[in-house]
Amino acid sequence: MKNILVTGGAGYIGSHTCIELLAAGYTPIVIDNLCNSSTISLDKVKQITGKKITFIEGDVRDAKFLDSVFKKFNIYGVIHFAGLKAVGESVEEPFMYYDNNIAGSICLFDAMNRNNVKRIIFSSSATVYGDPATVPIKEDFPVSATNPYGRSKLHIEEILQDIYVSDDQWNIGLLRYFNPVGAHKSGLIGEDPNGIPNNLMPYISGVAVGKYKELSVFGGNYPTPDGTGVRDYIHVVDLAKGHVKALQAFESSKVDNLYTVNLGTGIGYSVLEMVKAFSTASNKKIAYKIVARRSGDIACCYADPTLAKEMLGWQAQYGIQEMCDDTWRWQSGNPDGYKVNAEPHLMVEDVTV
Ligand code: NAD
Ligand code: UFG
């Protein structure tokens, strides 16, 4: 059994990835400082898989903590999800973003190096493509950043590239996610944003469940078929499976020791198409109004996913209706996210290090 250190593994994408790692025979070891999650997600993973996840509360910026984890467990590789992800907040709080995302990543990579663990999958983002000149977006398109969050992703990619140049024993997969949505089929785990959601899908589902009155559609005059923004939404379970393929790829000859790959479906949907699909899934009317564009948004963004298929043997399986159906199952069953299900005694193993 290979132990995979999953940083930020109690979060949205991390918890779904733990399920797929277990299904593929890996053992996830989760570390998380719980700044945007709770261990209830890992209790639910246990309920879904029947397997207990080793969880250690801690911060990737804590070198001593990381050393103790690497010394205690024989780690085969790392999947690095831990980080902050709200674009608007990053503009307000650049120190916080650079400290958490960049300093945290450097601390982690340094600890990996010291402990001779040189295999990593990093959560990057389609945001590194800025406003692309054309779509679909290929991995060799120019990169840029317009906010501290995006810049942190770009810098971390560059830091990992420099690490590889200095030592080609490293195996590094840079995964550029498009727009993750959806939830596990069980309806037990899903996205649980703090406060009012910034992203489209949790906001639409919040309207459907009656938490918010109406959706503000940011911009109705983009150069897209219906005037609203177009994105490549990808089911979080597909994304999670992509991480397993990305790890396995290091053992094949199909990828270089350092590779960059898009994880998207290759299909773009507009905001209004998402509203319609969610309305069908939930059987609820989703009230919306078209308002001004949101600063920093682009008209259209979707992936060319060819490379992922060729290199990783990975392709998204789920379509827009499953993304909406599964989000609805999670949202309607857990209108307050994990909070309502909080139990006094967590079943997560708390390893003292
Ligand atoms: P999330 O907030 O649900 O998960 C991130 C987890 O990291 C949380 O559990 C949080 O508590 C933890 N964390 C944050 N800082 C930490 C630190 N310093 N030490 C330890 N743990 C820490 O977010 P997510 O949607 O699951 O995203 C996971 C990764 O994917 C992030 O790096 C994010 O930037 C990236 N990403 C997300 C999206 C998206 O739209 N969800 C898109 C592209 C890339
Ligand atoms: N939108 C609305 N109303 C809302 C929220 C969003 O109309 O209340 C629109 C946006 O204008 C955009 C689309 O819905 O056209 C998607 O917006 P999201 O905020 O859900 O996602 P973004 O494409 O803006 O960005 C997301 C993440 C980034 C990540 C990027 C690519 O927030 O961190 O996907 O992975 F970098």
Residue of the CA atom closest to atom 21 of ligand 1 = 32
pLDDT of residue 348: 43
pLDDT of residue 347: 41
The CA distance from 332 to 257, in Å, is 43
The end-to-end CA distance of the chain, in Å, is: 21
**Ligand 1 centroid, distance to 93 Cα (angstroms):** 16
pLDDT of residue 339: 79
For the chain, the domains span 3-342
- Beta-carbon contacts of 41 under 8 Å, excluding residues fewer than 6 positions away, are 10, 11, 15, 189, 192, 338
Prediction pTM value: 0.97
- Reply yes or no on whether 98 is catalytic: no
CA distances from 288 to 90, 214, 215, 235, 276 (A): 27, 5, 4, 23, 11
The answer to whether 117 and 78 have CB atoms below 8 angstroms apart is yes
What CATH architecture is 3-342? 3-Layer(aba) Sandwich (3.40)
User: How do the pLDDT tens digits run along the chain, 353 residues long?
Assistant: 899 999 999 999 999 999 999 999 999 999 999 999 999 999 999 999 999 999 999 999 999 999 999 999 999 999 999 999 999 999 999 999 999 999 999 999 999 999 999 999 999 999 999 999 999 999 999 999 999 999 999 999 999 999 999 999 999 999 999 999 999 999 999 999 888 999 999 999 999 999 999 999 999 999 999 999 999 999 999 999 999 999 999 998 889 999 999 999 999 999 999 999 999 999 999 999 999 999 999 999 999 999 999 999 999 999 999 999 999 999 999 999 997 544 443 344 454 44
Rg of the chain over all Cα atoms, to the nearest angstrom = 19
What are the φ/ψ torsions at residue 292 (nearest 5 degrees)? Answer: -65, 160
Whose atoms come closest to the Cα of 294: which ligand?
A: 2
Q: Which of 12, 26, 149, 302 does the annotation list as catalytic?
A: 149
5, 123, 198, 348, best to mutate for ligand 1 pocket (most atoms within 8 Å of CB): 123
